[in-house]
Structure 1
Amino acid sequence: MTLNDYVFTTYRDGGRGPKEYDCWGICRSARHELYGRSLLQLWGRVDPMDKGQVTDAWGEAVPELVESSPVPGCIACVFRGATLLHVGCVVDGDRGLSVLETIPRQGPRILPIAKFERIYHTVRYYDDRDLSQ
């Protein structure tokens, strides 16, 4: 798939592609397909609206990841305190480094990092441990 292919998908809770994604599904797939990052767990049992479940699942993925600067293929994580609210994938877009995300009612979009950070306030970036050491 190309970045453009992801933009023309639709949002669906629990979506794992190739035509419907939730935020974890699109991030997981795009970082693997576009940037060769590891294919992280599906989280199929996780309700994306239950942020406690999302945060617990994130805790299972963290050992494979390390906090990093924003680089293409890393995960942009939106937090409120210790609770994970949302994720996107950093991409090399037309306007430089941007974040591919998908949200209910709107679907996928690509936002410049500065705009993503203005909207979501607390954003931390994570990349595969072996690529970031």
Structure 2
Amino acid sequence: MVKIDDLIGQPFQDGGRGQETFDCWGMALEVYRRYGRELPDYRISAMDAQKIGDQMATEAPAWVEVKQPLPVPCLVVIQLSCVSWANHVGVYIGNGKFIHAYSKTGVIIDRIKRWQSNIIGFYVPRGE
């Protein structure tokens, strides 16, 4: 497993893509980068649930849904708002936990079980 401890506690910032602030997609980009996988960047406000959902739906063919989270990295797709199919992501890190950047907490490790009712599914990039 790659090192992610340094991400924990970093503050949430809309559009955060850097070493000191992250939004949920920025944090997912960073974790995947550490695993040697580059993902496309989408510059959509973390507060625009509808645009995020539309973009996620458009990009869905690039991902394969898996029944159970696979060894990392595996995207955890979450619905926080009923205005779209999904609008939040995290990355599964094993043992029933995932890392994500959330506006209320910053970057944290959370339990899948706690978010189960909001989780749409688990996804890996197509071709992996």
The verdict on a shared fold, with TM-score over 0.5 as the criterion, is yes
Q: 2:59 aligns with which of 53, 58, 61?
A: 61
Partner of 1:3: 4
Query: Is the partner of 1:115 in helix, strand or coil?
Result: helix
Say whether residues 1:89 and 2:86 are aligned partners: no
Which structure is higher in strand share?
Answer: 1
> Identity of aligned pairs, percent?
24
Partner of 1:129: 126
Query: Is the partner of 1:76 in helix, strand or coil?
Result: strand
CA–CA distance in 1 between the matches of 2:111 and 2:75? 14
Q: 5 Å matches for 1:101-116?
A: 101-116=100-115
Question: Over the residues paired in the alignment, what is the CA RMSD in angstroms?
Answer: 2.0
Shift of 1:56: 1.9
Whether the 8 Å contact between 1:90 and 1:100 is mirrored in structure 2 is yes
CA–CA distance in 1 between the matches of 2:54 and 2:9? 30
Shift of 1:121: 3.0
CA–CA distance in 2 between the matches of 1:14 and 1:81? 20
Whether the 8 Å contact between 2:32 and 2:39 is mirrored in structure 1 is no
Which structure is higher in helix share?
Answer: 1
Instruction: Could you tell me which runs of 5 or more consecutive residues in structure 1 were left unpaired when the two chains were aligned.
Output: none
Whether the 8 Å contact between 1:16 and 1:42 is mirrored in structure 2 is no
Instruction: Could you tell me which runs of 5 or more consecutive residues in structure 2 were left unpaired when the two chains were aligned.
Output: none
CA–CA distance in 2 between the matches of 1:19 and 1:27? 14
Say whether residues 1:30 and 2:31 are aligned partners: yes
